[in-house]
Amino acid sequence: MWRKAVLVAVLALGMGYLFHTDPELPAYVLNYVSEFLSQMEPSGGSELRPPALEEAISRAWQTLITAPARRWGRVAVGVNACVDVVVSGVGLLQALALEPGSGRDHEVLRSKEDLKEAFIHYMGKGAAAERFFSDKEVFQRIARAAAEYPGAQLYVGGNAALIGQKLASNPQLVVLLCGPVGPKLHDMLDEQIVVPPESLQETDEFHLILEYKSGEQWGSSRAPQANRFILSHDVSNGEMSTLETFVASLEEFHPDLVVLSGLHMMEGMGRDLWEERLKEAVVAISDVRNEVPIHLELASMTDRDYMNRILQEQVMPIVNSIGLNEQELLFLTQSGGGPHADLTSWDGIPDVGRVSDILLWVLEQHGRADPESEADLTRIHFHTLAYHILATVDGHWGNQVAAVAAGARVASSQACGLQAVDINKVFLKAPLNFYSSFSEPRESLSVDPTRPVTVWRRGNVSFHFTPVLVCKQPLRTVGLGDAISAEGLLFSEVAAPSEL
């Protein structure tokens, strides 16, 4: 009984302070704290029933997530595919006889020492990253050690293959996957996925996924949250060698939607290669029929010139939609000289106002927020651990409340290894109060747990925000961004030409 009394006193003091500092604190937040207290066991034990806020959000998602009026029937996905070897990052580095030390980022990994330093650097931030390992023989030795490490697991890998797998879980969809598909990967793919014969190859490409848990420590480095570090020596995906095959397959497949990924893999191949290959990629992508929307899935990059080329001169203006996380968004604005480019990294949960500023800048400067613009980009699906935002140019996309909620729901369930959200295994980490921009003029906004998608507009761009119910003990973090983007696309619909 005394525990409840202490908790009541602490919460009362806390709520009093919050109300004093913010008299506009939404009434529903106060109501849910009250409900939370009322759900404590009356028997004198310290057991708590399911948290009220998380339960309300999970229930509301079920109501908000409705199918679009027009669904995709055929989706073509390309062009990076591989086999992921998932292993404990700290365990593998110890098996390689490496000692903990200081962290340091490397754009390209050339040795085991580079790997150790880059892993420690990102583990300390709790941030995802992906790097190319330039030495083939050393990488093969690391890969053998990873495959033999106790508990190592093999999965479908590569953004395109992961998105294809997620889309193929919908029985109404026919999915074409084009990428370097070896025998092991082919056996693991969903039966609904069509792979062109030209995409098949004799050997698989392997990527190593070094995972770490929230709070895991190695030496002086401690992970603030669970995440992963990815490395590969992957020439086929690095050269996007199946891109032309992918585009040629579209003529016969007749997709309603094209999903493109793998551009980040070219970065590790050197400027001479990516500069020429990027031009060829743009020509190939431009051959896709105008009426078919293209979604581009971004991933971790380090070369600002390369990202700036994608942003300003090459790819971004000719796709309709992009998906990215907080690291990729920050690198994008740093590369292009956008808002908040002076930030070196996010401090904890990315500020919603700052994220909103950058998303608006991308759509205004490199998208179609200006009706007179010739760019095609009208949609950005942003995801970070605590929340997601879907930013769209008005009049081009529909069902976005359902789409952003569906992406958050799959993040909550998949991270816990479940088919549905278990509110006893998740917690709310997103801010319930935030601003539409980092600077004035700005709008003060709140999250209502009974309708957990907050909407605001800036010019002719609409923003849809929803919190994520974060998994307390995630089983697997790799592929979450791909699942989020795939689920968001499943519930999105593009406006018919007559509606534009």
* b/e code 159-183 from CB counts within 10 Å (16+ = b): bbbbbbbbbbebeebbbbbbbbbbe
Nearest to 455 by CA among 433, 428, 436, 432: 436
Rounded CA separation 489/500 (Å): 19
Identify the active-site residue in 234, 357, 376, 482: 482
Q: Which neighbouring-strand residues pair with 391?
A: 380, 463
> Mapping DSSP to helix (H, G, I), strand (E, B) and coil, where does residue 23 land?
coil
Please state, as a whole number, how many other Cβ atoms lie within 10 Å of the Cβ of residue 26.
15
**Token digits of residue 304:** 């600002």
Q: Nearest 5°: phi and psi at 120?
A: -60, -40
Whether residue 425 contacts residue 471, with contact meaning beta carbons closer than 8 Å, is answered with yes
Tell me if residue 482 is catalytic.
yes
| Cα 488 to Cα 381: distance, rounded to the nearest angstrom | 8
Rounded Cα distance between 87 and 91, Å, is 8
**Tokens 């020429």 belong to residue:** 276
**Residue 471 three-state SS:** strand
Q: Where are the beta strands (DSSP E) in 213-342?
A: 217-218, 221-222, 227-232, 257-261, 294-297, 321-325
Tokens representing residue 386 in the block:
């605590």
**Full 3-state SS string of 62-103:** HHHCCCCCCCCCEEEEECCCEEEEEEEHHHHHHHCCCCCCCC
Active site residues: 482
